[in-house]
Chains A and B, each alone.
Chain A
Amino acid sequence: AQKVTQAQTEISVVEKEDVTLDCVYETRDTTYYLFWYKQPPSGELVFLIRRNSFDEQNEISGRYSWNFQKSTSSFNFTITASQVVDSAVYFCALSEAGYGGSQGNLIFGKGTKLSVKP
Chain B
Amino acid sequence: DVKVTQSSRYLVKRTGEKVFLECVQDMDHENMFWYRQDPGLGLRLIYFSYDVKMKEKGDIPEGYSVSREKKERFSLILESASTNQTSMYLCASRGGYSGANVLTFGAGSRLTVL
**A interface with B by C-beta (< 8 Å):** 9, 32-33, 35, 37, 42-47, 50, 52, 91, 95-106, 108-111
Q: List 10 A-B contacts (CB under 8 A).
A: A50-B100, A91-B42, A95-B99, A96-B99, A101-B50, A103-B99, A104-B97, A104-B100, A105-B33, A108-B43
Known: A97-B98, A100-B50, A100-B97. A106 touches B103 (CB 8 A): yes
Interchain CB contact (< 8 A) of B103 among A32, A42, A47, A101: A47
Known: A50-B102, A104-B98. A45 touches B42 (CB 8 A): no
Interface centre among A35, A97, A102 (most CB of B within 10 A): A102
Query: In the complex, A31 Cα to B98 Cα: how many Å?
Result: 12
Neighbouring A residues of B92 by C-beta, 8 Å: 45
Query: In the complex, A111 Cα to B92 Cα: how many Å?
Result: 17
Structural contact, A44 and B107, CB atoms closer than 8 A: yes
Least CB separation from A50: chain B residue: B102
Query: In the complex, A50 Cα to B102 Cα: how many Å?
Result: 8
Query: In the complex, A108 Cα to B58 Cα: how many Å?
Result: 13
> In angstroms, how far is the closest chain B Cβ from the Cβ of A102?
6
